[in-house]
């Protein structure tokens, strides 16, 4: 793995994808997990001796599902991404800006339109930072950063599946703050001080440490701890999760046509009566992400996951509820154009009355079919 490719918030699978991808990709940001690959010849122009790159995504999505939540629809069509990235990747001073509209479909939650989602979450500039790179082994980033937590990225085009999974629903996605990154041989480490779940309270310390055990296997640990409690609560800042801790242990194996990534997750929320958290609670989950590449054009990805909860505070579908899901995503990419479908099933166990799927919250499963297509320019 080349030391100069030291990235922000990059998951283990993407570290290996950069090293092993069949597609040429001169831009390491936004990080992407194969099979989708960015345009190998993005737009660029010279400014004062440095090259500025411009890339982006224009993608649409369609879905149909049973047992929709009351605020959702059985079927819909929408944009999933209308975004552009501008970045400088050389020299001591670098920068990255990502702007536009987006939706973030995830299993077990209602779908929210791309015209509404930015106002509820990370606005129309979801990622933007400056990066100081004094050496090949160290850099510093300041701004709006991708999270270090989890095995899946935030935006649809970055992942092997269209929708994020149940474990992702527990994790921070975008945070504001400062992050330090170090590479020493097979070891990479990032440490960040941020506002966690986009809370504007800079009291979250997170880390991602990964070790390339072999050319095909990488082991990683990620963790996020809230060092000061806060009552801040909004759509992107669930008061329970923003006052808790979350940890991942991830293994990635990439060999030939296969990529397999099993990982474990544990989260804990302590009692905090002032914010309405009257009892502590925990979540514990496991997932496997996998992809098989049949040829440079066609691949099939899958995800299986389980998550349970304990304690008296609701972190899922009621206190002590559980959920599981299965997802299949075939993908075809021809140069910058792609099209992919997805079929997923989400099941619930011990859901509280009114907290499940369907108009009255009394259904324990949801099947969803999706399609996404567009261009990565």
User: Model confidence over 142-155: pLDDT tens digits?
Assistant: 999 999 999 999 99
All domains in the chain, ordered by first residue: 12-376 (2.40.160.10)
Q: How many Cα atoms occupy the beta-carbon half-sphere of 84 within 13 Å?
A: 4
| 328 pLDDT more than 90 | yes
Tell me, what's the pLDDT at 26? 55
Q: Give the contacts of 34 (CB within 8 A, at least 6 positions apart).
A: 17, 21, 22, 23, 160, 259, 291, 293, 299
Tell me, what's the pLDDT at 27? 87
pLDDT in tens, 287-326: 999 999 999 999 999 999 999 999 999 999 999 999 999 9
Tell me, what's the pLDDT at 17? 39
pTM of the shown model:
0.91
């Amino acid at each position: 793995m080349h030391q100069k490719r030291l990235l922000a918030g990059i998951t283990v699978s993407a570290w290996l994808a950069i090293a092993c991808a069949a597609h040429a990709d001169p831009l390491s940001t936004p990080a992407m997990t194969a099979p989708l690959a960015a345009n190998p010849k993005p737009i660029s122009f010279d400014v004062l001796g440095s090259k500025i790159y411009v890339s982006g995504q224009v993608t649409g999505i369609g879905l149909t599902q049973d047992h929709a939540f009351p605020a959702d629809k059985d079927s819909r069509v929408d944009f999933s991404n209308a975004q552009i990235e501008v970045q400088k990747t050389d020299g001591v001073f670098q920068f990255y800006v990502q702007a536009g509209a987006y939706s973030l479909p995830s299993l077990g939650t209602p779908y929210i339109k791309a015209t509404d989602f930015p106002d509820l979450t990370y606005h129309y500039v979801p990622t933007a930072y400056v990066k100081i790179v004094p050496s090949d082994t160290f850099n510093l980033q300041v701004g709006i950063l991708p999270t270090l937590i989890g095995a899946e990225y935030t935006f649809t085009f970055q992942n092997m599946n269209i929708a994020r999974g149940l474990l992702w629903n527990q994790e921070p996605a975008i945070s504001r703050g400062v992050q330090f990154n170090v590479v020493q041989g097979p070891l990479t480490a990032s440490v960040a001080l941020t506002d966690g779940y986009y809370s504007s309270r800079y009291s979250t310390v997170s880390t991602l440490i990964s070790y390339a055990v072999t050319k095909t296997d990488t082991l990683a640990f990620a963790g996020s701890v809230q060092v000061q409690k806060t009552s801040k609560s909004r759509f992107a800042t669930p008061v329970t999760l923003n006052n808790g801790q979350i940890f991942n242990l991830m293994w990635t194996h990439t060999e030939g046509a296969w990529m397999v990534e099993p990982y474990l997750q544990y989260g804990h929320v302590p009692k905090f009566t002032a914010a309405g958290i009257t009892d502590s609670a925990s979540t514990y989950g496991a997932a496997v992400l996998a992809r098989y590449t049949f040829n440079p054009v066609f691949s099939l990805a899958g995800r299986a996951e389980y998550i349970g909860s304990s304690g008296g505070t609701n972190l899922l579908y009621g206190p002590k509820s559980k959920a599981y899901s299965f997802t299949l995503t075939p993908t075809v990419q021809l140069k910058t154009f792609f099209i992919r479908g997805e079929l997923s099933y989400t099941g619930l166990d011990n859901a509280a009355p009114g907290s499940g799927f369907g108009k009255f919250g009394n259904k324990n499963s949801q099947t969803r079919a999706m399609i996404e297509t567009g261009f990565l320019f």
